[in-house]
């Protein structure tokens, strides 16, 4: 549901500029900064690029029992898993868009390595790489970092995508997302940025105001298949898109981002075409966000600005690398 006429309603909120708060490069109280001690007494080494470790308070644990629970209508399964934390940079003050492409590439290298290593574990069937950016998205520490949750079962959102991609693959012997981006490139109404290996766009079905997606041009099931050049291209388009986000309201743009890719369940998944999605909540200013409430909780998402308007805004900026 798209209702752009709603943006004509009078708006009395104020448009706030980027806060002048300057974060230090190093924060002695930050448990992700190099050389600091975490709450459980572990010393974070003086890392120079990226750093990954098991979350001290992970939601998933490798020691959880596989036992199932069944009692009439009540059914539950034991869920084994591992939660990892990835520091993108030793510099506390940076965010992904502030980082150099070569440094973002090191984050991509780590994602690739973690997908392969965790995915090789017999009890791990799905790997969710994600980032919550900004306090608005519930991020408790401003140090640039993301997370990986690796687990036994395949989550609902992934099952939905697996199912639809498989239906399309079985019918057409072609990747649903490859055919989709080809149509989008031909239309050129929702494309935000492109490079030799990737396309960034506001998807036709976007629900969040500036929702965006990065899709590899090649039909790749997962990040382990990215070549060196593709990893470089991924880093470049990640930087490009997130820099554009920061320019929309002249603020460090909050979002949740995540990579959806083929399960690591030992099956081949020719239907899968991996991609990264961004769900940013801001709608009208650095402080006015979209609320998915009321009708959206009980019916369907509704947009106030069209996907084409969002794409036009995002692509209108000049990005300095």
Q: Which residues bind Zn ion (CB under 5 A)?
A: 27, 30, 32-33, 92, 143
Residue 88 vs 278, nearer CB to Zn ion = 88
> What token pair was written down for 61?
């644990």
Q: How far is the CB of 140 from Zn ion (least distance, A)?
A: 12
Q: How far is the CB of 89 from Zn ion (least distance, A)?
A: 9
Q: Contact 179/240 with Cβ under 8 angstroms?
A: no
Examine the residue annotation and report whether 145 is marked as an active-site residue of this protein: yes
Q: How far is the CB of 210 from Zn ion (least distance, A)?
A: 27
Residue 27 vs 109, nearer CB to Zn ion = 27
> What token pair was written down for 281?
């909540």
Residue 32 vs 177, nearer CB to Zn ion = 32
- Please give the residue whose beta carbon sits closest to Zn ion in the complex: 30
Q: How far is the CB of 90 from Zn ion (least distance, A)?
A: 8
Q: How far is the CB of 46 from Zn ion (least distance, A)?
A: 13
Residue 86 vs 200, nearer CB to Zn ion = 86
153-160: list long-range contacts, CB under 8 Å, 24+ apart: 153/77, 153/79, 153/125, 153/126, 154/125, 154/126, 154/263, 154/265, 155/126, 155/128, 157/260, 158/126, 158/128, 158/260, 158/263
What is the residue whose two structure tokens read 């500036």?
210
Distance CA 18, CA 22 (A): 11
Determine what percent of the chain falls in helix, strand and coil, rounding each to the nearest 5. 30, 20, 50
Residue 131 vs 271, nearer CB to Zn ion = 131
Candidate list 145, 197, 260, 273, residue with the active-site label: 145
Q: How far is the CB of 138 from Zn ion (least distance, A)?
A: 18
Q: Kindly tell me the sign of the dihedral angle through the C-alpha atoms of 240, 244, 245, 246.
A: positive
Q: Angle 307-316/228-248 helices, nearest 10 degrees?
A: 100
DSSP H or E stretch at residue 52: strand 51-54
Distance CA 26, CA 47 (A): 13
Residue 96 vs 193, nearer CB to Zn ion = 96
Distance CA 13, CA 285 (A): 9
Q: Which residues are catalytic?
A: 145
């Amino acid at each position: 549901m798209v209702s752009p006429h709603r943006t004509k309603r009078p708006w009395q909120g104020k448009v706030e500029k980027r806060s002048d708060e300057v974060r230090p490069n190093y924060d002695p109280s930050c448990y992700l900064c190099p050389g600091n001690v975490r709450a459980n007494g572990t010393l974070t080494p003086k890392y120079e690029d990226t750093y990954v470790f098991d979350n001290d308070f992970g939601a998933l644990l490798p020691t959880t029992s596989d036992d199932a629970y069944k009692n009439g209508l009540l059914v539950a399964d034991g869920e084994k898993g591992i939660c990892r934390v990835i520091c993108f940079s030793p510099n506390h003050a940076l965010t992904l868009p502030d980082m150099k492409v070569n440094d973002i590439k090191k984050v991509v290298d780590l994602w690739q390595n973690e997908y392969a290593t965790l995915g090789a574990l017999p009890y791990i069937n799905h790997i969710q790489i994600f980032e919550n950016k900004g306090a608005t998205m519930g991020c408790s520490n401003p140090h640039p970092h993301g997370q990986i949750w690796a687990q036994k079962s395949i989550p609902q959102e992934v099952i939905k995508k697996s199912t639809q991609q498989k239906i399309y693959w079985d019918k057409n012997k072609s990747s649903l997302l490859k055919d989709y981006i080809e149509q989008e490139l031909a239309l050129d109404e929702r494309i935000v940025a492109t490079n030799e290996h990737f396309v960034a766009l506001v998807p036709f079905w976007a629900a969040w105001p500036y929702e965006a997606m990065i899709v590899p041009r090649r039909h790749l099931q997962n990040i382990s298949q990215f070549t060196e050049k593709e990893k470089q291209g991924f880093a470049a388009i990640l930087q490009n898109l997130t820099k554009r986000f920061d320019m929309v309201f002249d603020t460090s743009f909050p979002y949740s981002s995540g990579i959806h890719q083929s399960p690591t369940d030992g099956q081949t998944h020719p239907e899968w075409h991996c991609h990264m999605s961004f769900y940013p909540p801001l709608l009208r200013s650095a402080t006015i966000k979209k609320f998915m409430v009321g009708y959206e909780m009980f019916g369907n998402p509704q947009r106030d600005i069209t996907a084409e308007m969002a794409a036009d805004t995002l692509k209108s900026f000049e990005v300095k690398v």
